[in-house]
Structure 1
Amino acid sequence: MEGSKIENRKPFNWIMIALLIVFTVVSIFTGVNDLSIRNVFSLTDTQRLILLTTRLPRTISLILAGSTLAISGLLMQQLTQNKFVSPTTAGTLASARLGIVTAIIFFSHSSLTQKTVLAFIFSLIGTFTFILFVRSVKIKNAVMIPLVGLMFGNIVNSLSTYLAVQYEVVQNTSSWLQGNFSLISSTNYQLLFLSVPLLFLIYLLAYYFTIMGLGKDVSIELGVPYGLLELAGVTIVALATSAIILTVGSIPFVGIVVPNLISLKKGDHFGKILFPTAGFGALFLLVTDVLSRTLIFPYEIPISVVIGVVGSVLFLYLLLRGESK
C-alpha cells in the first residue's frame, strides 16, 4: 500500500518539474521586445542584451522569490501549528514595509544593506508580536488567527501610509507597497540570492522543524530546543521576507496558498513536502507573472494585483474548507 502511494507521488513531482521548466522558458521569452526561442542561437546584440540584463534576471527572481515565500509560509505554519499563518497573515510583510518607510524617512541616505537590516528588525519584531499576541489570547478557532493577523497587518500598513504622507515620501515608498518584477534587471536582483543559504538552512533543520509540529511539550520531551529553534525559524522568515520586499515589493498569499495546496496532495510531513512546496511556489509566481505580462499586452499589470485576485479566491476556498472540517 505504501509503495503505491510513493508511485502516485512520482507523477505529481515529474509533472510539476516539467511545468516549472516550461514556464521558465515561457517567462524568458515573454515580453514586448521581439525575442523568440526559435532564434536563441542567432540573437542580435540588442536581443542578447535584453536576454542577459532583464529576461534572465527576472525569471531567476521569480523562481527565488516564489520558492522562498512558499517555504517561509510552510515554516511559519509549522511553528505556529496553524495552516493559515504566513508572512501575509502574520504581519511580517507589513512590518518589513514599515521598516523600509522608517529607513527612507529618518535615514534617507542609508544603503541597501542598512535598509535590509532595518526591514529585518521590524519584520522580526512584528512577527513575534503577532505570535505572542495569539498565544496570550489563546484563540481556539484556527480560522480566526489569520483574520487577526490580517487586521494586525492592516494596522501596520496604515501606520506606514500615514508616515509616508506626513513626511511626503509616498512616491519613494510606493514601490515597496506593490509587488512588481518589471523593474528587475541584472543590477538590482542580487539580494534575492540571500534566500539560497536560508533555504538550505531550513533543509538542514527540517528534521527538528518536523518534530516541532507535534507541539511544544512533545518537542521538549524528545530533546528538541523548542525556543531556540522557534527563534531561528522566525529569524529566517523575517530575513527572507525583507530581502524579497526590498527587491520586488510585497507579494501576498503565496506563503499561505501554496503550502496548503501541496499538503492537500502530499500530506503534512514538513520534511517530505519541503521541495514540492518550493517548486510549486516558483511555478505559481512564474504562471502569475506570465499572466500579468499578457492579459493586457503590450502593457503589464503588477504581479501583486494578479496574485491578489487568484490568491484571495484560493484563500477563501481554504478557509471554507477548514471551517467545514
Structure 2
Amino acid sequence: MRILLLAFLATLVLAFISLFVGVSDVSLPALLSGTADARATEIFFISRVPRTLALMLAGASMAIAGLVMQMVVRNRFVEPSTAGTSESAALGFLVVTLLAPEWPLMAKMAVSALFALGGTALFLRILRAVPLRDVLLVPLVGIMLGGVIGAVSAFIAYRTNLMASLLAWNMGDFSGVLRGRYELLWLGLAGGILAYIAADRFTVAGMGKDFTTNLGLNYRRVMVLGLVIVSVVSAVVLVSVGSIPFLGLIVPNLVSLIVGDNMRRTVPWVAVGGAGFVLACDIVGRLIRFPYEIPIAVVMGVVGSAVFLYLLLRTPRHAG
C-alpha cells in the first residue's frame, strides 16, 4: 500500500508537470496571483487541463483493458494492439464514417466498439482452432489478424481518400485534445471501475473454464463481460485520441512482477501505472524536440517494443 501511494504521488507530480509543459508560456505563479493574461488562462483551462485529464484517463483505462484481456485469453502477451481489437475498432470507425458521416460521435463510438468486439471474438475463435504449443503463438496470431484487418482498412481508406484520417486514428496523439473533445474517455474510466468490481470473477476465469464452472460461475458471461469492457475502452480511446500501442501489455506485466496475479489487488496498480506511464511518454514527446512534438504513439512504440522484447526473452516458451 505504501508503494502504491508513492506511485500515485509520482503520477500526480507528472500530471502537474504536464500542465505547464508546452510552447505557450503558462506560469503557475501568474495563474495563482491572477496576473496571467487572458490567453494564458484560456490555454490552461481549454487545452492543458483537458489534455492532462485525457492522458490519465486513456492510460488508466487502456492498461486495465490489457489486464482484462490477458485474464480472458490466459496469455501475458495479449492486449488490444496484439489481438486485432484496435484494428477492428479502426475499421468500424472508418465504415461508419463512410456510411453515416452525420451520426454523432457517441453513435460512431458504439459502432467502433461493436467492430472491436467482433474482431476480438474472431481472434478467440481462431485460437480454438490453432494448436497452441508455444506461448508466443497467441500474440503472433493476433498480430497477423490485426495485419489482415489493417490491410482491409487501408484498402477502403485508399479507395475513399481517407488515408490521412486512418493514419490519425492509428497514431495516438494528444496534441489536439481540447475541452469538449475528450469527455468520452470518462466511459473508459467507467469500464475500468466495472473491471475492478468484477475482478474476482476475471481472476477465477483466468484459471480455465472447468475451474470456473466448478466454482459456480458462468464462464461464458464472464468472458463476454471482459470482451465488452475491452471493446468499449479500445473504441473510446481510438475515437478520442487514436491507438496507443503496447500500453495494455507492458504495464500489467510489470505490475504482476511486483504484486502478483490477483486482479483485485493489481487493478489499482495497473491504473496508476498506466496513467503515469502515458504522462511520462507524453512529456518526453513534447520535450525531446521542443518546440515540436512527437506523437505519443511513437514514444510508446519505442519504449513498449523494448519492454516487450525483454518480457519475451525472460519468459519460458511453452503454453502454460
TM-score normalised according to structure 2 size: 0.96
- 2:318 is the alignment partner of 1:315: no
Counterpart of 2:42 (choices 32, 39, 49) is 49
Determine whether 1:290 maps to 2:289: no
The answer for the alignment partner of 2:24 in structure 1 is 33
Instruction: Using the TM superposition, give the Cα deviation of residue 169 of structure 1 relative to its aligned residue in structure 2, in angstroms.
Output: 1.7
Tell me which of 4, 18, 24 is aligned to 2:9.
18
Correspondence list, 1:105-116, <5 A: 105-116=98-109
- Residue 191 of structure 2 corresponds to 198
Q: Note if 1:174 corresponds to 2:157.
A: no
1:110: how far off?
A: 2.4
Which ranges in structure 1 are unaligned for 5 or more consecutive residues? 1-9
Whether the 8 Å CA contact 1:74–1:255 is kept in 2: the answer is yes
The alignment partner of 1:298 has SS state of coil
Shift of 1:45: 1.8
Residues 164-205 of structure 1 deviation map (CA, whole Å, 9 limit, x = unaligned): 001112233332121100000002111111122222211111
Superposition pairs for residues 103-182 of structure 1, below 5 Å?
103-182=96-175
Partners of 1:125 and 1:279 in 2: how far apart? 29
State the alpha-carbon separation in 2 of the partners of residues 269 and 195 from structure 1: 22
Checking the alignment, whether the CA contact within 8 Å between 1:262 and 1:276 is kept in structure 2 is yes
Contact 1:143/1:322 (<8 A) preserved: no
User: Unaligned 5+ residue runs, structure 2?
Assistant: none
- 1:202-233: CA deviations, max 9, x gaps? 11111211111221101100001110110011
Mapped to 2, the partners of 1:250 and 1:150 lie a distance apart of: 15
For the 8 Å contact 1:105–1:169, the answer to whether it is kept is: no
1:275 maps onto 2:262 in alignment:
no
Matched residue SS, 1:88: helix
The one-letter code sitting in structure 2 at the alignment partner of 1:204 is: I
Distance 1:195 1:104 in 2: 21
Residue equivalent to 1:233? 226
Corresponding letter in the other structure for 2:315: G
- The runs of at least 4 consecutive aligned structure 1 residues that moved more than 6 Å come to none
Deviation of the 1:114 alpha carbon: 2.2
Secondary structure of 1:190's aligned partner: coil
Number of residues of Structure 1 aligned to a counterpart in Structure 2:
316
- Provide the TM-score with structure 1 as the length reference: 0.94
Identity of aligned residues (%): 37
Tell me how far apart the structure 1 counterparts of residues 106 and 13 of structure 2 sit (CA, whole Å). 35
SS in 1 for 2:64: helix
